[in-house]
Amino acid sequence: MDITKLTVHEIQEKLKSKELTITQITKAYVENIENKEKDVQAFITPLKKEALKQAEEIQKKVEKKEITNSLAGIPIGIKDNICTKGLKTTCASKMLENFVAPYDATVMEKINNENMINLGKLNMDEFAMGGSTEYSYFQKTRNPWDLNRVPGGSSGGSAAAVAANMVPWALGSDTGGSIRQPASFCGVVGLKPTYGLVSRYGLVAFASSLDQIGPITKDVQDSAILLNVIAGHDEKDTTSVKKEKIDYTKALKNDVKGLKIGIPKEYFGEGINAEVKQSLEEAIETYKKLGATVEEFSLNIADYALATYYIIACAEASSNLGRFDGIRYGYRAENYENLKELYRNSRSEGFGPEVKRRIILGTYVLSSGYYDAYYKKAQQVRTLVKEEFDKAFEKYDVLLTPTAPTVAFEIGTRSNNPLEMYLADICTVSVNIAGLPAISIPCGIDSQGMPIGMQLIGNKFQEETILNSAYTYEQNCRVRDVSKSDKMSH
């Protein structure tokens, strides 16, 4: 048995039946990292030794019954923009190359309270700005399905590590698709929760009104389990919402009879790859067979939402990244004559090209003379997008779209054309603009052998509905079993 191919719920069963020990599990993952990391390059800071030591300690405590929770000793990987106390948190930037977080993000406290084991900090696009993980300062992560292709981004390290079985699951963050698109490109499951469901405290801010942390997992059940761990109100994040605690695994009923699925036809038009479209159409047929009602409708906001996204996200980023000035933390330039120069030189040398591009765009749309034409307009469009989704959810329980217009593309083919890279986010960004939950699950494999992702969008705080819809499809189609053949086995 290859331990690293198991889902977390399968590992849990084997721990319970004492078929496996915590140390065995961690060891298996560490070995896998050693074998595959040279090819995949998913980690910025691997924690192999630390993980093995922690596994032994937790194993002992479990044997003495000092720890009894069922996630104790389960390893995890963490995107490197989530603060981990005493460990480097780099955001894949030269700016934070040596930054050691003085505190844990709230999600990390929750992970640690479960006695889970951190296998390492995972690669990403610098400050989560990008869709291919090519904008990491450190390295380009490769797609385990085809090492010449990108894993998607910005949580590309997280998705690639899960797909290559180097971690059983991981945390990512999603501002405009950064969990769902890499999940789609790597054939795994990625969930972006409703804005406010998961605390952002300790997530290095990119665009505060859009960012959410979420799980990247091998299957839907694991997604529900990890969401159970990280969801919940936090007084340290004023945008986190007070809600009764839900056990999301209870929503997985393997039944979609009577479910009303809306298909926004604009998301299947021009620009969507033919094979992606075909695979989605087959998925729609599957849902019909399973008893869901499916209806096409018009949701004509995609282009507006995409433009609005880049205006709002960059505006917020230009403000959020103002804190990096070379004084309290982060990179400081060697040469400067005065304080102003220290700021400017440190920022100019510490930030990479895409981050600077977005800061400039954000500063532009907020600057006097352009604020009304861009930022204010974008905020109005945001209301429009929310209202259009509200209307859609009066009629439907779930909206179904592709996660991305194409499968994973080849490394180096898009990184020189920022607008083209931005346009690839067309299917995912409107969800962040409206603050909705959405999940990406694998729904097929194209003729090149690359995974295709399907996105299911729910109304606010309706994670249970999209999780059950995804689960039911997964149980009946078993795309993962095909993909389990694991291209990365050596």
Partner 1 sequence: MKVSREELLHIAKLANLNLKEEEIDTYLIHLQDILNFANIVNSAPVDGLNEAIGANDTYNVFRKDEVKVFENNEALLQNAPEKERNMFKIPKVIQ
Task: Report 332-391 residues binding partner 1 (CB under 8 A).
Answer: 332, 336, 338-339, 342-345, 347-348, 351, 353, 356-357, 359-361, 363-365, 367, 370, 373-374, 376-384, 386-387
Tokens 């103002």 locate to 322
Q: Which of 107, 210, 251, 411 binds partner 1 (CB under 8 A)?
A: 210
Beta bridge partners of 184: none
Q: Which of 268, 287, 310, 396 binds partner 1 (CB under 8 A)?
A: 310
* DSSP string over 121-142: EE--SGGG--SSSTT-SS----
487 binds partner 1 (CB under 8 A): no
Shortest Cβ distance from residue 107 to partner 1 (Å)?
19
Using CB under 8 A as the binding rule, the residues of this chain from 76 to 95 that contact partner 1 are: 85-86
Smaller CB distance to partner 1: residue 29 or 351? 351
233 binds partner 1 (CB under 8 A): no
- What own/partner pairs with CB < 8 Å and gap ≥ 24 does 108-114 have? 108/78, 108/82, 108/83, 108/84, 108/202, 110/229, 110/230, 110/232, 111/76, 111/78, 111/171, 111/229, 111/230, 114/69, 114/71, 114/72, 114/74, 114/229
Shortest Cβ distance from residue 18 to partner 1 (Å)?
39
| Signed CA dihedral, 232, 235, 239, 243: sign only | positive
Q: What does the alpha-carbon distance between residue 454 and residue 152 come to, in Å, rounded to a whole number? A: 15
Shortest Cβ distance from residue 451 to partner 1 (Å)?
29
User: Edge-to-edge, what's the strand order for the sheet holding 293-297?
Assistant: 43-46, 117-122, 75-79, 170-174, 212-217, 189-192, 438-445, 451-458, 398-402, 260-264, 293-297
Closest CA to 8 of 170, 143, 119: 170
Query: Do 37 and 31 meet the contact criterion of CB atoms below 8 Å apart?
Result: no
Smaller CB distance to partner 1: residue 105 or 162? 105
Give the active site residue among 132, 136, 154, 318.
154
Using CB under 8 A as the binding rule, the residues of this chain from 413 to 442 that contact partner 1 are: 418-419, 422-423, 432-436
Shortest Cβ distance from residue 431 to partner 1 (Å)?
10
308 binds partner 1 (CB under 8 A): yes
Smaller CB distance to partner 1: residue 147 or 241? 241
Q: Is 158 among the residues known to form the active site?
A: no
Using CB under 8 A as the binding rule, the residues of this chain from 25 to 64 that contact partner 1 are: none
Using CB under 8 A as the binding rule, the residues of this chain from 450 to 469 that contact partner 1 are: 460
| Total of chain residues touching partner 1, rule CB under 8 A | 75
Q: Is 79 among the residues known to form the active site?
A: yes
Q: Is 178 among the residues known to form the active site?
A: yes
Positions annotated as catalytic residues are 79, 154, 178
